[in-house]
Amino acid sequence: MVDELPEGCGRETEHALARLLLVRADEFLPSAELARIGHPGSVCHGIAIAAELALKAYLLTQGWNDDRCRRELRHDIERAMKSAQACGLPGRSKELTEVLAVLNVYYPRHAFDRFVAPAGDAGFPERARARVAGLTRKVRPVVDAVSIGAPLPD
């Protein structure tokens, strides 16, 4: 039985997991067309999952591990965003923060079956999808760089 992992093995595992989480984020993120015509609750659930996975992928590149994400964040995407920003996530976006705040009312409680778009914002699913797609675009170069041992992008 091995008492500890060889040096560097843990980070390589976390970096591989970061790549996988980002792939899964892309898979959960609804298409722009589905965001426009789909059931808002179902669409926003997929968007929230994509946001969680993208944020956790970023955190895994910043020294966090899967266990810490599970313990400290669970499904709280607002907390995940604050943690990612504290670790240097580039490009702060008021719009993304607002979108995550709306999604976070439902997501940790598994309550998207009761989702209601903010008053007067019938286009919320499309806007939310665009903001989270932007998040995955910001995270991707960081995950790619870390996974090959390259310097982080500016």
Residue at 153 is within a domain: no
Q: Domain holding 142: CATH number?
A: 1.20.120
Q: Is the whole-model pTM more than 0.85?
A: yes
Rounded to 5 degrees, φ, ψ at 102 are: -65, -50
pLDDT in tens, 115-150: 999 988 999 999 999 999 999 999 999 999 987 777
> How many domains are there within the chain?
1
Classify residue 69 by burial, with Cβ atoms within 10 Å: 0-12, 13-18, 19+. buried
Instruction: Render pLDDT for 59-73 as a digit per residue (tens, 0 to 9).
Output: 999 999 999 999 999
In a domain? residue 2: no
